[in-house]
Chain A
Amino acid sequence: MTANRPALAPTRTSALLAVLAGVGSVVVGTSPIGTSAVAPLAAGVVGVLLLTQGLLQAARSWLAAGTLALVGATTMVAFAASDPLPSLGGAALAFVAWDCGEYAVGLGEQVGRRGATARQELRNAGTSVAVAAVAVGAGWATLAVAPGGVPVVALAVLAAGLVVLFVLLWT
């Protein structure tokens, strides 16, 4: 394997999709307030730049920073906007950007750019987008259940769900 080491660069399809998702996250996430608020927009642009940097450098830490900046941007909008639905979409797309970006880096390490990967990358991105759609639905449902505030019961259920998930993931 030493003689035929592939380039470690992230695979192209997923990298491109990750940047697209990042841009989409900013566009969708900040749409309720437009360009009137500078801070969320700036955070979003920085997020996309960090994401791009992470893909150019094949560095997960830059990717993660970009993703968190995108999530931060949509969170700011969620506070300010009267309609939080677009910011749910923005956050979901930020997660899709991370999924595709990390997938590109990982696949680049294991298979490389010269390998045959495009179909598999599209498959991964497709699943990710489907999950995002379900996620936005779940967020919307949470809002619908508690229009005036968050009941303690819903909070407790959410907290319990989080604990169960983390136990599942990290053990």
Chain B
Amino acid sequence: MTDGTTVTSTAEEPGTEATTTGDADARDSPTPDDAEGDAAEPGNAADSAAVRRTRRWWPIEFALLALFAAGLATMEPALFALVAVGVVFETYAGVRGGADGAALELDREVSRIDPSPGDTVEVTLTLRNTGSRVVADARVVDGVPGALEVSDGSPRFATALRPGREATHSYELRAARGEHTFSPATVAVRSLGGAVERERALAATTTLTCSLPLSEVPLRAQTSIFSGRLPTDVGGSGTEFHSVREYRSTDPLNRIDWRRYARTNELATVSFREERAATVVLLVDARPAAYWTADPDDRHAVDHAVAAAGQVYDALVENGDRVGITVVDAYRDAWLAPAAGQAALTAARHFLAVHPALAYDPPDDLPELVVDPDHDPVDPSPLLARLPDDAQVVAFAPLCDDGIVEALERLEASGHATTVVSPDATRTDADGHRLARAQRANRVGRLRGAGIRVVDWPPTKSLAETLLAEARAGGGR
């Protein structure tokens, strides 16, 4: 920070992964008008529109006039001595120096631009006086992105700077999923006596991209629940026995039937039923109705659904499947075509982090928890038109209304094997939630009745844990 060079924020690149080093720094160049007005006289700088008189000395002025009037009336020397005291204070108040903040530069450095949700990001502000005048009183308010919470310290500070000096201040933010952009910081500079204040915006925007973390608990062991690779009638590699045939020189060693070799001294190759990678489309319910939360301070169901989708995506791609993502009622705008491999993982993580259809901030008009049964029908036709014929669907939905249930039944009926992962955002201990809970239980029952697998997931547990518990309980249907 002390080398004087400033680098523009490099946060624009998409798909920033959670790197292991993770100390990529973002520095910001000050706004270009900084260099302007350095030589300008205080009081007539270019940005004089932002100059304000604080009028903070008015009681002293009032006292001064009153004392002077009383002195004239009485001709008492002590009163004139008091007037002289007031005049010295007024002279101090009249000093206009120190309010020239034109030569101030502000750098904003963040400890990382690609945090994972819940990570602490340290923001360091450096205010530098590059001019030749003293800055008597600078008050800095950083433009913290609205969705981020300040976890330690304050984004505001006050300081004075002699020419060439700099002051640093840091505070901490807790990252939340999504793309968050800092607004320019506001700097108010006051003259020595505080009579004049000049306000300006400093430091360009910085963007934090907070993507989902790599799943802490791999779901690999349970992937069969979601996709089930498709068996074929062709012999090859796989798990299910298909046939044994004569050895050919290109066959891999691990498929040679060594027992037969030991018995008969002839090489033979075991073939298994070959499996084909499945195509899976993850469907996230992020309609306003899905922004359910058990507690206003908790994460809402959409965020849990997105996190679960991220984990399942990772697991399926690891498994070799082709996986796509889409969002209920936004099939055109929010469509990540099924793909496989590392590039797909990166794209998916970015999609889940920043796509506006999955915004972390809930919409303003949140509907009631207990909804009218006919409310908000969901039309799956556009999705059916886009889905590849053999695609399976894994839906992530809190099951907060009947519309989504009907849509899922139609998907299953159209031949797309459907699984539902449902983060449970209802509570057991609140009266208002009782009916919502009962309605949700009915919906789960109805889906299971239609042959759809439902993973009922309380977000207090990890998804992997829930799946493991279900597998032990015998399938969970």
Contact = CB atoms under 8 A, between A and B. Distances in A.
Given A1-B144, A135-B88, A165-B91, A106 B80 contact: no
Nearest to A117: B158
B85 A149 contact: no
B182 to A, nearest CB: 11
A165 B160 contact: no
Contact of A162 (B68, B79, B148): B68
Contacts of B160: 120, 123
Nearest to B91: A165
A124 B169 CA distance: 19
Interface in B179-193: 183, 188, 192
B341 interface: no
A153 interface: no
Contact of B139 (A110, A131, A140, A143): A110
A168 B56 CA distance: 14
Contacts of A19: none
Contact of B87 (A79, A107, A162): A162
Contact of A67 (B59, B144, B157, B194): B59
Contacts of B62: 64, 68
Contacts of A120: 137, 158-160
Contacts of B158: 107, 110-111, 115-117, 120-121
A102 B92 CA distance: 15
A145 B137 CA distance: 37
A39 to B, nearest CB: 16
Contacts of A24: none
Interface string A112-129: 101111011101100100
Interface string A52-84: 000000000001100110010011001101001
A84 B77 CA distance: 9
B82 A95 contact: no
B399 to A, nearest CB: 31
A53 B67 CA distance: 25
B54 A106 contact: yes
A81 B100 CA distance: 45
A162 B93 CA distance: 13
Contacts of B141: 1, 110-111
A103 B139 CA distance: 12
B67 A114 contact: no
A75 B70 CA distance: 10
A141 interface: yes
B267 interface: no
B110 to A, nearest CB: 16
A102 B477 CA distance: 69
Contacts of A37: none
Contacts, number: 176
B429 to A, nearest CB: 28
A71 B68 CA distance: 13
A36 interface: no
B165 to A, nearest CB: 13
A95 B85 contact: yes
Residue of A63, A84, A139, A169 with highest tally of chain B CB at under 10 A: A169
Interface in B51-90: 54, 56-65, 67-68, 70-72, 74-90
Contacts of B192: 127
Residue of B80, B85, B147, B154 with highest tally of chain A CB at under 10 A: B85
Given A3-B144, A165-B90, A115 B154 contact: yes
Contacts of B146: 2-3
A110 B188 CA distance: 9
Given A1-B144, A106-B54, A135-B89, A116 B154 contact: yes
A159 B68 contact: yes
B153 A114 contact: yes
Contacts of B77: 84, 142-143, 146-147, 149-150
A79 B78 contact: yes
A135 B85 contact: yes
A15 interface: no
A139 B150 contact: no
B143 interface: yes
B149 A169 contact: no
A142 B88 contact: no
A34 interface: no
A98 B86 contact: no
Nearest to B81: A139
B147 A88 contact: no
Given A3-B148, A162-B87, A165-B94, A155 B82 contact: no
A17 interface: no
Given A79-B76, A169-B195, A68 B157 contact: no
A75 B156 contact: no
Contacts of A168: 94
Given A4-B149, A75-B79, A146-B80, 19 more contacts: A68-B59, A78-B81, A79-B74, A79-B78, A88-B85, A91-B82, A92-B89, A111-B154, A116-B169, A121-B158, A131-B92, A135-B86, A136-B85, A138-B84, A142-B77, A142-B84, A158-B87, A169-B90, A169-B93
5 contacts: A120-B158, A124-B137, A135-B84, A158-B84, A162-B87
The 4 closest A-B pairs by CB, nearest first: A135-B88, A84-B78, A115-B156, A114-B154
